[in-house]
């Protein structure tokens, strides 16, 4: 089956889950075109991401003639479809924070995507995130392109469902994917009950073979990792006052912040001003092997997020048999079990975060390893990429449009 993945920016260091899903679908016999609007504006450090970049076609690099040629072709050959899509773009732009002009740019992108899909006999389109990629996928469908679906991750989509016209995107889709039951519940809020059955849960997946070699927890010290973009919603700034208190009781405690983003300078300044430069270090983005090495050298993952979908790094830490300290938000409690595979704390609660770290510090090495093993068993049962991709494949085959 021929499908196209529609993405805004691809590949990106924080979106390895999309790459894994694509590759799993290809192993299951799908032929996949990768159509991203633009290339990443950050360096790619993972060899697999670099390889994906060479396989991706960037719509905005096609040039003005190709883009507007696709619009003109549809206006001349499918005027009724064009008017339906224009009407939707106008309405969506009217409620959107980015306005109507941006939505007509999406319409131009969608015309090019629809043309490519027709030329390549593409049978289905899938987009990731309910933002502009899903807009392009929906408009391409309305312009005569194949059926479409999209995966909603959160939290951005849940922050602005009306501005993103989530209800319209779900209603026009063949099906919509949520990555957790919590995510599905949020999507059900924006469509009629008659559309609920097209909202399915497909988890993001990990490759179990990459976590086949379990490394025992370190015998000495107290080492943590936090992984993610340095942005407000990830809550890394809460770790600074927490670590200030913890260092007083555990001078050897160490935290490695893996990632990068607009808040890096603020975080580095806060660490320096708190006198924590020896206890908190920054690694930048690491490739997948580097992340696994960092997890292997740690006692636990700490995830202080204020808003999430269901973080991939939680899955990876659990697959590495590491306990997880995370906030009690969104889909995280569906995976992390408080007191069994880690700790769940209220978002923004420094006291609770400190107490959770103290509880882990007071556990015997044997109990820490038992907690890590329980987490590993749980995530491997729930987030195997081959199993989850098979669910997506079944839905796509049922939704496929006839080739043209």
Q: What is the pLDDT of residue 316?
A: 96
Query: Does residue 201 sit in the same domain as residue 242?
Result: no
Q: For 4-22, what is each residue's pLDDT tens digit?
A: 999 999 999 889 999 999 9
Q: What angle do CA 228, 230, 232 make, to 5 degrees?
A: 110
Query: Does residue 43 sit in the same domain as residue 180?
Result: yes
Residue 375, helix vs strand vs coil: helix
Q: Which domain holds residue 136?
A: 2-205+385-399
Q: What angle do CA 182, 4, 42 make, to 5 degrees?
A: 75
Q: Residue 24 is encoded by which pair of tokens?
A: 């799993």
274: confidence class by pLDDT, cuts 50, 70, 90: very high
| Residue 175 domain flag | yes
Query: Does residue 264 sit in the same domain as residue 351?
Result: yes
Query: Does residue 236 sit in the same domain as residue 368?
Result: yes
241: confidence class by pLDDT, cuts 50, 70, 90: very high
Q: What's the structural domain count of the chain?
A: 2
Query: Does residue 172 sit in the same domain as residue 265?
Result: no
Query: Does residue 95 sit in the same domain as residue 242?
Result: no
Q: What is the pLDDT of residue 214?
A: 84
Q: For 49-105, what is each residue's pLDDT tens digit?
A: 999 999 999 999 999 999 999 999 999 999 999 999 999 999 999 999 999 999 999
Query: Does residue 144 sit in the same domain as residue 253?
Result: no
Q: What is the pLDDT of residue 219?
A: 87
| Residue 220 domain flag | yes
Strands of the 342-345 sheet, one edge to the other = 280-284, 254-258, 223-227, 300-303, 324-327, 342-345
Query: DSSP code of 130?
Result: T
Residue found under tokens 């001078």: 251
Q: What is the pLDDT of residue 213?
A: 85
| Residue 52 domain flag | yes
The DSSP annotation for 278-345 comes to: TTEEEEE---HHHHHHHHHT-SEEEE--SS-S--HHHHHHHHTT--EEEES-TTGGGT--BTTTEEEE
Query: Does residue 223 sit in the same domain as residue 138?
Result: no
Average pLDDT over every residue of 287-295: 93
Average pLDDT over every residue of 20-37: 97
How many whole angstroms separate alpha carbon 120 and alpha carbon 3? 9
Q: What is the pLDDT of residue 14?
A: 84
Q: What is the pLDDT of residue 385?
A: 97
Average pLDDT over every residue of 338-362: 98
Q: Residue 380 is encoded by which pair of tokens?
A: 């491997």
Query: Does residue 225 sit in the same domain as residue 372?
Result: yes
Q: What is the pLDDT of residue 13?
A: 87
| Residue 404 domain flag | no
CB distance 318 to 330 below 8 Å: no
Average model confidence (pLDDT) for the chain? 96
Average pLDDT over every residue of 156-165: 95
Query: Does residue 244 sit in the same domain as residue 188?
Result: no
Q: Residue 384 CB: number of other CB atoms within 10 A? A: 18
How far from 245 is each of 75, 276, 301, CA to CA, in Å?
65, 11, 18
Q: Helix 64-77 to helix 99-119 angle, to the nearest 10 degrees? A: 80
| Residue 10 domain flag | yes
Query: Does residue 185 sit in the same domain as residue 262?
Result: no
Q: Inform me whether the pLDDT recorded for 404 exceeds 60.
A: no
| Residue 239 domain flag | yes
| Residue 341 domain flag | yes
With residue 365 as reference, give the H or E element that holds it. Answer: helix 365-382
Q: What is the pLDDT of residue 403?
A: 56
CB distance 302 to 276 below 8 Å: no
Q: For 380-401, what is each residue's pLDDT tens digit?
A: 999 999 999 999 999 999 998 7
| Residue 354 domain flag | yes
How many whole angstroms separate alpha carbon 293 and alpha carbon 314? 15
Query: Does residue 112 sit in the same domain as residue 201?
Result: yes
For 99, counting Cβ atoms within 10 Å of its Cβ (0-12 exposed, 13-18 middle, 19+ buried), the class is exposed
Query: DSSP code of 189?
Result: T
Greatest alpha-carbon span in the chain: 73
Task: Give the ranges where 131-224 is alpha helix by DSSP (H).
Answer: 132-142, 156-159, 166-172, 181-188
Average pLDDT over every residue of 310-338: 97
CB distance 39 to 80 below 8 Å: no
CB distance 5 to 25 below 8 Å: no
CATH number, domain with residue 225? 3.40.50.2000
Residue 161, helix vs strand vs coil: coil
Q: Residue 327 is encoded by which pair of tokens?
A: 């906030």
Share of the chain above pLDDT 90, in %: 94
């Amino acid at each position: 089956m021929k499908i196209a993945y529609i993405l805004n920016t691809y590949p990106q260091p924080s979106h390895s889950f999309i790459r894994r899903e694509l590759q799993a679908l290809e192993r299951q016999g799908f032929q996949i075109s990768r159509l991203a609007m633009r290339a990443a504006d950050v360096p790619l450090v993972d060899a697999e991401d670099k390889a994906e970049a060479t396989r991706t076609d960037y719509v905005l690099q096609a040039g003005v003639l190709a883009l507007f040629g696709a619009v003109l072709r549809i206006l001349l050959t499918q005027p009724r479809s064009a008017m339906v899509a224009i009407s939707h773009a106008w309405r969506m732009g009217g409620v959107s924070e980015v306005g109507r002009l941006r939505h007509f740019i999406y319409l131009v992108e969608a015309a090019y995507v629809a043309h490519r899909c027709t030329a390549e006999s593409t049978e289905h389109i899938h987009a990731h995130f309910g933002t502009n990629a899903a807009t392009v996928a929906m408009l391409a469908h309305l312009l005569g392109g194949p059926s479409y679906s999209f995966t909603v991750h959160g939290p951005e989509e849940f922050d602005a469902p009306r501005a993103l016209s989530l209800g319209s995107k779900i209603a026009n889709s063949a099906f919509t994917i949520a990555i957790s039951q919590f995510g599905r519940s949020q999507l059900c809020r924006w469509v009629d009950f008659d559309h609920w059955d097209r909202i399915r849960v497909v988890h993001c997946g990990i490759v179990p073979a990459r976590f086949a070699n379990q490394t025992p927890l370190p015998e000495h010290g107290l080492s943590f990792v936090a992984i993610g973009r340095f942005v407000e919603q990830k809550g890394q700034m809460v770790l600074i006052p927490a670590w200030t208190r913890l260092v007083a009781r555990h001078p050897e405690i160490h935290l490695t912040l893996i990632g990068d983003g607009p808040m890096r300078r603020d975080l580095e300044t806060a660490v320096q001003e708190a006198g924590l430069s020896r206890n908190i270090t920054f690694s930048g983005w690491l490739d997948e092997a580097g992340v696994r090495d960092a997890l292997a050298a740690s006692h636990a993952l700490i995830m202080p997020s204020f808003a999430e979908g269901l973080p991939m790094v939680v899955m990876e830490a659990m697959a590495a048999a590491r306990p997880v300290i995370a906030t009690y938000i969104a889909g995280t409690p569906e995976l992390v079990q408080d007191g069994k595979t880690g700790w769940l704390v209220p978002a923004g609660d420094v006291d609770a975060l400190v107490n959770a770290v103290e509880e882990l510090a007071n556990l015997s090495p044997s109990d820490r390893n038992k907690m890590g093993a329980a987490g590993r068993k749980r995530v491997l049962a729930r987030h195997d990429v081959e199993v989850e991709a098979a669910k997506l494949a079944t839905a796509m085959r049922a939704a496929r449009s006839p080739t043209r």
